[in-house]
Amino acid sequence: MQQFQQYIGGRFEDGSARFDSLNPATGTVWAQMPEARDADVDRAVQAAEDAFFGAEWASTTASQRGKLLMRLADLITEHAPRLAELETRDTGKIIRETSAQIAYVAEYYRYYGGLADKIEGAHLPIDKPDMEVWLRREPLGVVAAIVPWNSQLFLSAVKIGPALAAGCTVVLKASEEAPAPMLEFARIFDQAGFPPGVLNVITGGPNAGATLTSHAKVAHVAFTGGPETARHIVRNSAENLASTSLELGGKSPFIVFDDADLESAVNAQISGIFAATGQSCVAGSRLVISNKIKDEFLARLKERAEAVVIGAPDDMATEVGPLCTQAQRDLALDLIARSVDQGAKLVTGGSAISGAGYFFPPTILDCSDAPEAPCLSREFFGPVLSVVSFDTEAEALAIANDTRFGLASGVFTQSLTRAHRMIRGIRAGIVWVNTYRAVSPIAPFGGHGLSGHGREGGLQAALDYTKVKAVWLRTSDDPIPDPFVMR
DSSP calls for 75-133 = HHHHTHHHHHHHHHHHH---HHHHHHHHHHHHHHHHHHHHHGGG---EEE--S-TTEEE
Q: Read off the pLDDT band of 482 (50, 70, 90).
A: confident
CA distance 41 to 43: 5
Residue 280 DSSP one-character state: -
Catalytic residue among 35, 168, 184, 281: 281
Per the rule left: phi > 0, alpha: psi between -120 and 50, beta: everything else, 203 is: beta
For 484, phi and psi rounded to 5 degrees?
-100, 5
Quick one: the chain helix, strand, coil %, rounded to 5?
40, 20, 40
Catalytic residue among 247, 319, 379, 456: 247
CA distance 353 to 309: 13
Active site residue 247: yes
pLDDT in tens, 289-303: 999 999 999 999 999
Q: Read off the pLDDT band of 264 (50, 70, 90).
A: very high
Q: CA angle, 230 as apex, 227 and 234 as ends, to 5°?
A: 140
Confidence check: pLDDT of 15 > 90: no
Residues 6 or more apart whose CB falls under 8 angstroms from that of 115 comprise: 66, 162, 165, 459, 462
CATH architecture of 253-433: 3-Layer(aba) Sandwich (3.40)
pLDDT of residue 483: 85
More confident residue, 480 or 413: 413
pLDDT in tens, 145-196: 999 999 899 999 999 999 999 999 999 999 999 999 999 999 999 999 999 9
Confidence check: pLDDT of 337 > 90: yes
Instruction: State if pTM tops 0.85.
Output: yes
CATH architecture of 2-248+447-454+465-471: 3-Layer(aba) Sandwich (3.40)
CB distance 218 to 143 below 8 Å? yes
Per the rule left: phi > 0, alpha: psi between -120 and 50, beta: everything else, 478 is: beta
pLDDT of residue 239: 84
Active site residue 281: yes
pLDDT in tens, 394-422: 999 999 999 999 999 999 999 999 999 99
Confidence check: pLDDT of 70 > 80: yes
Q: Read off the pLDDT band of 319 (50, 70, 90).
A: very high
Residue 214 DSSP one-character state: T
pLDDT of residue 1: 85
CB distance 274 to 307 below 8 Å? no
Confidence check: pLDDT of 206 > 90: no
Domain boundaries, the chain: 2-248+447-454+465-471, 253-433
CB atoms within 10 A of CB 345: 14
Confidence check: pLDDT of 481 > 90: no
Mean pLDDT, rounded, of the chain: 96
CB atoms within 10 A of CB 473: 9
Confidence check: pLDDT of 485 > 90: no
Q: Read off the pLDDT band of 16 (50, 70, 90).
A: confident
Can you tell me whether residue 12 is helix, strand or coil? Answer: strand
CA distance 203 to 21: 12
- Burial of 71 per CB tally in 10 Å (0-12, 13-18, 19+): middle
pLDDT of residue 414: 98
Confidence check: pLDDT of 468 > 80: yes
CA distance 327 to 350: 16
Confidence check: pLDDT of 487 > 80: no
Q: Are strands 432-433 and 452-453 parallel, antiparallel or unpaired?
A: unpaired
